[in-house]
Structure 1
Amino acid sequence: MRSEQVRLAIDCGSASTTGVVAWTDGSWSPLSFDGEPGLPSAVLVADDGSVVTGQQAWQAAVKHPQRFVPVPRRPADEQVSVAGREIALADLVAATLRRAADEARRLAGGEVEDVRLVVPAGWGPRRRTWLRHVAHRAGMPQPRLVEAPVAVASHLLAGGVPLPVGSVIVVCDLGGGAEVSVVRRSAVGFEILSTLADPEAGGDAIDAAMTAALSPVPVAAGTGEEVALTASVRTAKHALFGHPAVTVAVPSGPAVVVNDLVLTQAARPVLKRAAGLVRHAVDAAEVDPATVAGLWCAGGTAQMRLVAEVLATDTGLTPLLVQDPPLAAAHGAADAGARSPGEGPEVVVEPLPS
């Protein structure tokens, strides 16, 4: 297969990394890691200096919490201390990108030369240059960087959502944190009118609130117990997106049955912060809210039922869920399945589940 016939797009988020391989005929396939479409972005530095990624990192962290880096993108310093050793953050993130590239190579049947990486709209030149260096360390070709809200808007357009030139939408990207951007479609693509981000307005903050609520005794930070409980809470949170109740293993006590009420109590204050971002981003863009063509929600946390209620109540806009929320930015960056206006099936737009 010729390299120009396949594209790789990766969305390396603070909590989870997703990616797709796309072909010029419009077909595409998500990258799969341990049977899942998302790879946890957390890493662990082994004794020999090698970097363990994804679910294996979380599992190993229970015994070696001092070697665990749950969010390699933060802090923004160039190095982080791991078990007394200074490690370049670029090397940690490169390990995740390298694993994604290996999976893409398997799917494509060879090297992929066209690589796109999704970046937050709020990242400046320094961080964008840093990510290019990370890709180089991972053995990737020079990537094209695509801003997350532009990628999501491209995903909508490729999926048949009508976005005429001049229309304005709000993209609320809810992952480990939240980034809200106001985007206008121009004659040549999409332009970002404003963007605001808050790391405390997404899934990581919800995890922290649930962890605090479920632990009968405060768990010491940086311990294996904290890692184990956080991992259990993360799993339970995602399970509650589709189930009324789940059981959570608590290291310092008996297992606890958690229902949607626990998730709601933890998530509501966090999602209200995200709603505040939406209001402020619209104000900063100086657009009339009545002219906004849609409030589109993407990212893994967007699948939570409470998102619709909170955003609708606090913003006055009707939130809509993009197709394949965790993969939307990667899919849009790959520009897979794009259609010309008037082509393809009619799209029925439905509000978020409530």
Structure 2
Amino acid sequence: MSIDQGRHALGVDFGTSNTVAVARWPDGRARPIIVDGSPLLPSAVYADPDGTLLVGRDAVHSARRDPARFEPNPKRRIDDDLVLLGEREVQVVDLMAAVLVRVVEEWHRAVGPVRPDVTLTCPATWGATRRGLLAEAAARAGLERVRLVAEPVAAATYFAEVLGRDVPIGSVVVVHDFGAGTFDASVVARTAEGFEVLAVDGRDDLGGLDIDAAIVEHLGKVCAERDPQVWQRLVEPATVEDRRAQRQLWDDARIAKERLSRSQSADVMVPLLDLELHVTREELERLARPVLDQTVQVTEALLRWADLPEGRLAGVFLVGGASRIPLVATLLHRALGEAPVVIEQPELVVAEGSILADAALLASGPAAPGPTSELRLVSRDAPPDRPAPAPLPEPGPAPVSIDNMETVPQSRHELTGNRAAGDFTGGIPPAVDPWPHAQHHWIPDPEATVAAPVSPSRPHSAPPAAPHRTTTMPPRSYGTTTPRPVAPQVIRPVPHPVSRQRRRGGVLRGFQLLLSAVVLVGVPLTALLVTYTLTAGVPWNSCVTWFIEDLHRLLS
């Protein structure tokens, strides 16, 4: 463990849709910080007209009055610097700090006036600039001694330390993080120091909210037939009452999704229509299947890209609230052949695991290149069946920072792809040269031994030669005499020593087979004749004569 056993610790998972905080006491007890009766604090922020920033459920409820003052996902706006809420601009750092301030308030309310060791999690693909903004937001919220931990590393640490799963050094854990607004799949390797992210892929526009939207759309097919005008008010609310009804409908759809993860049926109350509709788990799985299939495809492609040796996979760990849906584990089990592990509250995994993580601590300043400092989503914005990527342009100055420039971690094995068609990239974008302006000079080693090509069909870089019929020796000059043409010499093929060796080896092998046959047949036959001679008292020549006669009679 990386924290002092005698100190309090606070782990915060600042998510896209929800923020989760876990408190750990010096005796090892760990409990989630409850905010408004739930361990999930919406990461939403609402700018009140008087300048106050409301967060969490207060922001969600206030957004019904004026949606223009509402930002539901500050984490997605981290690269924007300023966000327009109402008539004023607010820094993104202040939005994130407002959410963390609420976490600090609830910490002091639950634990007391104690300064804990704080760990904040962030995506493994975040660069130094984004990590610096998150650390600055924590400092503005009054958090001290903040450490940054990659989310997949925190999840893998929970898998090994809290659940007690066996993860030997050299093995990997696949973290399937299916949250409310985003999805990430990561391959995390166990090292002697802890855990290290090898590869990561995901979708920023895929999450549990898409399943909620599918449920609402399913309900709309029934409600629109009964009263299209009322349903249009729920789809496009224009008044405070309509927006309140729309929020209630989406909350009931989410609750029904969570209930169907535990039971076979659930009821959804449609406001404004006063209609109660019945939804079954079979309907939920049919609606969620297109979304879940995408997550499985991303995870499968990531494992193919990682090209893990046999026996390296220690487990598949489901993280994020949307992972509760039973169909998620079923589809992954069928696709990967490994039964995934999911706990009762998967949204708490990253926050608690970050407290115990002792590897891949991410600095808030520029970090040295490495697997957990700058990573690229393997198939970011790339269709699954696209043609081979175009070659990289010539290196030149580019107005992008190191956080915007994505790099692909190299695989230790050859990337799988359509080898028959000559594609060995597996559909993955080529790696970006980390030193595009450097001059690379390659000098061949004069001492290197180069094997000559043995197949005449294979092209090589030898200089063009004359037709392989006869070789004419060049004329020589002897003193001052006039050179005379020399009769052409025909080069006759000389038997290669390897051919003789092969012929000699074939004869020897045939002699060994013949000798083995003689021994296998002759030894038992001789033993049989000797035994018959001794037991019957018959001379040896008579036994041999009788045996030959019997054999001749049998064959004829």
TM norm structure 1:
0.87
For residue 236 of structure 1, what is the amino acid of its counterpart? A
How far apart are residue 232 of structure 1 and its match? 2.9
- Three-state SS of the structure 2 residue aligned to 1:98 is helix
* Equivalent-residue separation in structure 2 for 1:181 and 1:3 (angstroms): 30
Deviations 1:256-315 (A, max 9, x none): 333323422332111111111211221232314753121111111111111112222333
1:4 positional shift: 5.8
Alpha-carbon separation, structure 1, partners of 2:82 and 2:338:
41
Q: Is the 8 A contact 2:12 2:119 kept in 1?
A: yes
1:284 aligns with 2:305: yes
Number of the residue aligned with 2:252? 232
Distance in 2 (CA, whole Å) between partners of 1:258 and 1:235 is 12
Match in the other structure for 2:329: 308
User: What's the offset of the Cα at 1:157?
Assistant: 1.7
Q: Which residue in 2 is equivalent to 1:333?
A: 354
1:165-184 equivalent positions in 2, closer than 5 A = 165-176=169-180, 177-184=182-189
Q: Greater CA deviation, 279-288 or 8-17?
A: 279-288
Q: How many residues align?
A: 335
Deviates more, 1:174-183 or 1:101-110: 101-110
* Structure 1 residue 175, shift from structure 2 partner: 0.8
What is the CA–CA distance in structure 1 between the aligned matches of 2:64 and 2:255, rounded to whole Å? 15
Q: Which of 238, 245, 248 is residue 265 of structure 2 equivalent to?
A: 245
| CA displacement 1:85-121 (0-9 Å, x = unmatched) | 3222222222211111111222332232411011111
Moved more, 90-99 or 296-305: 90-99
Q: Secondary structure at the match of 1:52?
A: strand
| Alignment partner, residue 8 of structure 1 | 10
- Give the 3 Å change call, closer, same or farther, for CA 56–19 of structure 1 in structure 2: same
Counterpart position of 1:74: 76
Q: Which residue of 1 aligns with 2:414?
A: none
In the alignment, the residues of structure 1 paired with residue 127 and residue 216 of structure 2 have an alpha-carbon distance, to the nearest angstrom, of 33
Q: 1:249 to 1:56 in 2, by over 3 A?
A: farther
Q: Per-residue deviation at 1:33?
A: 1.0
* Rounded Cα–Cα distance in structure 1 between residues aligned with 2:197 and 2:80: 27
The 2-side partners of 1:245 and 1:46 are apart by 40
The range that moved more, 2-11 or 152-161, is: 2-11
Give yes or no for contact 2:5–2:26 (8 Å, CA) kept in 1. no
Residue identity opposite 1:6 in structure 2: H
Q: Which amino acid aligns with 2:85?
A: V
User: Matches of 1:16 and 1:195 in 2, distance apart?
Assistant: 21
SS, match of residue 91 in structure 1 = helix
Give distance in 2, aligned partners of 1:79 and 1:265.
41
- What's the secondary structure of 2:341's corresponding residue? strand
Rounded Cα–Cα distance in structure 2 between residues aligned with 1:63 and 1:265 = 35
More divergent stretch after superposition (180-189 vs 282-291) = 282-291
Residue equivalent to 2:25: 23
* Alignment pair present for 1:124 and 2:144: no
- Look up the match of 1:192: 197
Distance between the aligned counterparts of 1:201 and 1:312, measured in 2? 20
Check the 8 A contact 2:120/2:146 in 1, yes or no: yes
Q: Of the two, which has the highest radius of gyration?
A: 2
Contact 2:166 2:314 in 1 (8 A): no
Equivalent-residue separation in structure 2 for 1:153 and 1:322 (angstroms): 13
Q: CA deviation at 1:226?
A: 4.2
Partners of 2:118 and 2:257 in 1: CA distance: 32
Moved more, 152-161 or 184-193: 152-161
With structure 2 as the length reference, what TM-score do the two structures score? 0.56
Q: Which structure has the highest strand share of the two? A: 1
Matched, 1:43 2:24: no
Which runs of structure 1 show a deviation greater than 6 angstroms over 4 or more consecutive aligned residues?
none
Mapping of residues 46-195 of structure 1, within 5 Å? 46-75=48-77, 76-159=79-162, 160-176=164-180, 177-195=182-200
Instruction: Name the counterpart of 1:324.
Output: 345
Aligned-residue offset at 1:324: 3.4
Structure-2 change in CA distance of 1:289 and 1:206 (3 Å): farther
How far is the alpha carbon of 1:142 from its aligned partner? 4.2
Offset, 1:325? 1.0
C-alpha separation in 2, matches of 1:209 and 1:272? 14
Q: Are the equivalent residues in 2 in contact too, given 1:3–1:112 (CA < 8 A)?
A: no
Moved more, 121-130 or 255-264: 255-264
Q: Deviations over 1:2-38 (max 9, x none)?
A: 9961010001111211111112321111100112121
CA distance in 2, matches of 1:143, 1:280: 35
Structure 2 Cα separation of the partners of residues 67 and 262 of structure 1: 36
Structure with the bigger RCO (C-alpha within 8 Å, sep 6+) is 1
